[in-house]
Amino acid sequence: MPNKKALIPLLLAVFVDLVGFSIVLPVLPGLFLDPASGILPAITPYATRTILLGALLGLYPLIQIFTAPILGALADRYGRKPVLVLSFLGTLAGYLLFGFGVVTGHLWMLLVGRLIDGATGGNVSVAQAAIADLSDAKSRAKNFGL
């Protein structure tokens, strides 16, 4: 049985990654579809608003497809901990930029924030590999289920 304290940051990494994808789901439709929100000019057609909303929502997982294997390779080469720390810092930067974009109404900040968050948020595979490294055969399934 691995040290439970060693699992906490790894489980936190998985949690933050999942939150990173879903935290914007309740916020973005109101920002993009309401002409009074100020993110887009009020005269922007509804179809354009929905396309931009879909693009912003899809940007996070799309960039993750390409960067998660890179994070995994970096973790194999340099160790799991430095890559997880780097991904947390990137996620923080992405959240901050996205938040500033919401507050200031700058679309480019929203896009770049999601891009950064998606690029550094693909740490689930790194965290799962670390959980596997820390777990014995008896506790591995339980630890993955946490």
Q: What is the pLDDT of residue 54?
A: 94
The pLDDT tens digits for 100-141 are 999 998 999 999 999 998 898 877 778 877 777 777 777 766
Average pLDDT estimate for 69-78: 91
Distance CA 91, CA 76 (A): 20
Among residues 117, 112, 111, which one has the least CA distance to residue 52? 111
- Kindly report the pTM of this predicted structure: 0.82
**Dihedral angle computed from the Cα positions of residues 32, 35, 38 and 40, in that order, rounded to the nearest 10 degrees:** 60
- Give the pLDDT band of residue 41 (cuts 50, 70, 90): very high
Q: At the top level of CATH, which class does the domain 4-145 belong to?
A: mainly alpha
